[in-house]
Amino acid sequence: MDLNSLVAAWDGKSVSTISQIYHDHKNTAEFGRHLINCLGDAESERGVTWLIKHHLEQGWMERGEGPNTNETAAMIKALPTLTHWEARLHLLQSLDHFEIPKSSAAPLATFLETAIKDNAKFVRAWAYHGWYVLADQHPTYLPQATALLEEAQSTESAASVKVKVRKALQNLG
């Protein structure tokens, strides 16, 4: 069974199963790039994004094998097409791990504007963090990010979101 089929068969709950898939495939040639190419498959998007995030956390970038500019752009381009909130969350949580190409800054900003209105509070929280990452890497977004984060301090009710907003504002300050 190929990697995409294995991930699509994952129940979406068992960390040990998805971790085993990672362990079995992490050293195969082009593992990360294959995951990025699988982003358009709704059946496997939760697992694929979990694997991308996990691979980044395990040092994919530090080993010099991480996504190149085109692949990073492909991940950002995929964000609005992801149908499951957990898939969006995984990629939002991964933004800290790579450099956002200039050509992807505006599409990311557009996605983040939508994501801060998501029903899933964790997606909203990490979307606000995404504004910090975007403004930190592309200072032209600093005024917009600051305004959105300051507004969120008074409009957001979920504690998890408020914590991310507060930390993002502190980091921008």
Q: What's the whole-number mean pLDDT along residues 94-112?
A: 96
Give the residue among 91, 148, 161, 156 at the shortest CA–CA distance from 122. 161
Q: At a CB cut-off of 8 Å and minimum separation 6, what does 74 contact?
A: 36, 39, 67
Angle, alpha carbons 139-76-147 (nearest 5°): 35
- pLDDT at position 30 over 90: no
114-129: b (≥16 Cβ within 10 Å) or e: ebbebebbbbbbbbbb
Q: Residue 165: what are its φ and ψ, rounded to 5°?
A: -65, -45
Give the residue, 63 or 46, on which the prediction is more confident: 46
Q: Residue 22: what are its φ and ψ, rounded to 5°?
A: -60, -50
Cα–Cα distance between 33 and 138 in angstroms, integer?
Answer: 25
What is the pTM assigned to this prediction? 0.94
- pLDDT at position 59 over 90: no
Residue 92's identity, in one-letter code, is L
80 Cα distance to chain centroid: 11
Residue 82 vs residues 21, 29, 150: alpha-carbon distances, Å: 21, 25, 28
Assign 65 a pLDDT band (cuts: 50, 70, 90). confident
Q: What's the whole-number mean pLDDT along residues 150-164?
A: 95
Predicted confidence at residue 67, as pLDDT, reads 85
Cα–Cα distance between 160 and 36 in angstroms, integer?
Answer: 29
Cα–Cα distance between 107 and 102 in angstroms, integer?
Answer: 10
